[in-house]
Amino acid sequence: MTLANRVWIVALIVAMVLVALQLSAHAQSAEAEALFREGRALIKQGKLADGCGKLAASEHLETSVGTLLNLGDCRERLDKLASAWAAFRKAEAVARRNGGDDRRMAEADKRAARLEPMLSKLKIEVDRALEIAGLVVKRDGVVVDAAVLATPVPVDVGTYTVVAEAPGYKPWSRRVIVDHRTTRNVKIPPLEREPLPAPPPPPATTAPVATVTVHRRGGTWTTSRKLSAVLAVSGAGAIGTGVFFGIQSRDLANDADARCPLPSCSDPEALRLNDRAQTDATRANLLYAAGGVVVGAAVILWLAGSPGDETVVVPAVGDRQVGMSLAGRF
């Protein structure tokens, strides 16, 4: 393979990676929109827990003021006041950062302020004698930042498991029940040391092994790789069309949310925009899926169509035997 061909192949791979990253960012927008609409539909059917889960997944993919307002409202109805308060405060911050959305920013601030007097809190403290390198404190499996320790943090009503771990020490844990409008304190005591492990056994002695590899290479553009290039172009075209519908779905959804931000809506124009956005989001997801399958097949064909072959000869010498193994890729 000439130097010019190698440079061309490297440039093609880099370009494909950049295009994939850009398409992934747009695909997330379409997926977030589909999850948001499914969540609102479930809430209207009275399935609050399922609806909140869809809204949370949508917000995880792409943050928006409308999604956060709906998520906060849903969590408040489930009596998860701390989670609702956090969603409203985040909605307020996002609206302030984006600008031009004073109405929803004020709504988020009002809803959060109303919940603050009703919040329950959990305070986790570490004993002053507990100065251990690598100490990790977790609450329900999530690491608690050191800056948060000794600070009352708003939490939803329920039962929590606090765990403290450090290398060379036995883990410590405690279950804590947090009731309505209460502040619970948990103090982590000094940890007990783990017994020292037994030394590992000495490594086994192995006979020396010599490997001889013979390579034979052919041309670069095999039949499989030519077909791979055709499939890659087709898959990229499908994904690009999906990007168009994804962007159009997001714009329609934003227009609908601007006219009617809450789940209950009687504006015909907002409902029409909502239906169009849902249709475009579905089209985008189908095109992303089809394009991804085609591009994946192109990658497999490209790798499978690698030219040339490889033969490996491995002489093996042991205490009571002499032999040779042969492996090949043709």
Dihedral (C-alpha) 50, 42, 115, 66: value to the nearest 10 degrees?
110
- The dihedrals phi and psi of 143, each to the nearest 5 degrees, come to -65, 130
Has residue 136 got a pLDDT over 60? yes
Q: What is the DSSP letter of 148?
A: G
Has residue 11 got a pLDDT over 60? no
CB neighbour class for 61 (10 Å; exposed up to 12, middle 13-18, buried from 19): middle
Query: H or E segment at 312?
Result: strand 309-317
Q: What is the Cα–Cα distance from 300 to 295, expressed in whole angstroms?
A: 9
pLDDT at 159: 95
Neighbours of 216 (CB within 10 A): 10
3-state SS, 80-147, equals: CHHHHHHHHHHHHHHHHHHCCCHHHHHHHHHHHHHHHHHCEEEEEEECCCCCCCCCEEEECCEECCHH
Residue with tokens 């159009």: 248
Has residue 25 got a pLDDT over 50? no
Strand partners, 275: none
- Which tokens is 189 given? 């005591």
Strand partners, 125: 187
Q: How many CA atoms lie within 13 A of 313 on its CB side?
A: 4
Residue with tokens 């950049």: 18
Q: What is the Cα–Cα distance from 238 to 292, expressed in whole angstroms?
A: 9
**From the centroid of its chain, how far is CA 288?**
18
Q: Tens digit of pLDDT for each residue in 97-120?
A: 998 889 999 999 999 999 999 999
Has residue 242 got a pLDDT over 70? yes
* CA–CA distances in Å: residue 293 to residues 146, 230, 286: 44, 14, 11
Q: Tens digit of pLDDT for each residue in 179-217?
A: 999 999 999 998 888 887 777 888 876 655 545 454 555
Length of the chain: 330
Q: What is the Cα–Cα distance from 271 to 40, expressed in whole angstroms?
A: 13
Q: Tens digit of pLDDT for each residue in 266-323?
A: 677 766 777 787 888 888 888 878 878 878 877 787 777 666 544 444 555 454 554 5
> Where does the pLDDT of residue 23 fall: very low under 50, low under 70, confident under 90, or very high at 90 and above?
very low
- For the chain, give the mean pLDDT: 79
Direct distance between the N- and C-terminal alpha carbons of the chain, in angstroms, rounded to an integer: 19
Residue with tokens 């940890």: 191
Angle between helices 268-304 and 223-259 (to 10 degrees): 160
Spatial strand order of the sheet with 136-139 comes to 142-143, 136-139, 158-165, 172-178
Q: What percent of the chain has pLDDT over 70?
A: 76
Please tell us whether the domain made up of 120-188 is placed in CATH 2.60.40: yes
pTM of the entire predicted model: 0.50
CB neighbour class for 58 (10 Å; exposed up to 12, middle 13-18, buried from 19): buried
